[in-house]
Amino acid sequence: MTKMAGALGAGLALQVGMVVFGHYVPQAQQVGLFPIAGTLIGGITGWLAAYAGAVTPATARGASIACVCGIVGSLVSSRLGDVPVSNFLLAGGATLVAGAIGGIIRSRVGREPRLD
């Protein structure tokens, strides 16, 4: 499995899991679970998708994978009746930015081991 596929799977599982949890525990939704946890999951997904090294590819990988996961999570939440369909724009944008930040952090901090 490639790094991007693994990050996509993890991000989708976390986003959908958060949405389902928030659907069945309305108190979590009332305290702002979706925007806070969803954006945090976007950052984690961006970290997972990126490679250490050059900033631009890491940012693009993190942003794209996190955005896809955020949009899918928002559409699942919409299907469950918890948010309007238009929320996918906000969720996609927030997770895109968070994923880009996660990718940038990974490119600077998460150095891959050298095999000299």
pTM: 0.86
The predicted pLDDT at position 54 comes to: 84
Please determine, for residue 115, whether its predicted confidence score (pLDDT) is greater than 60.
no
Q: What's the pLDDT score for residue 111? A: 62
| pLDDT value at 1 more than 80 | no
**What are the structural domain ranges in the chain?**
3-109
In this prediction, residues 33-40 reach a mean pLDDT of 89
pLDDT in tens, 46-90: 999 988 778 888 899 999 999 999 999 999 999 998 889 999 899
pLDDT of residue 63: 95
State both tokens at 12: 């989708």
Is residue 36 within 8 A of residue 95, CB to CB? The reply is no
d(CA 32, CA 38): 10
pLDDT band at 13 (very low <50, low <70, confident <90, very high): very high
Burial class (CB in 10 A: 0-12, 13-18, 19+), 48: buried
In order of 53, 80, 87, the CA distances from 83 in angstroms are 38, 8, 7
pLDDT of res. 110? 64
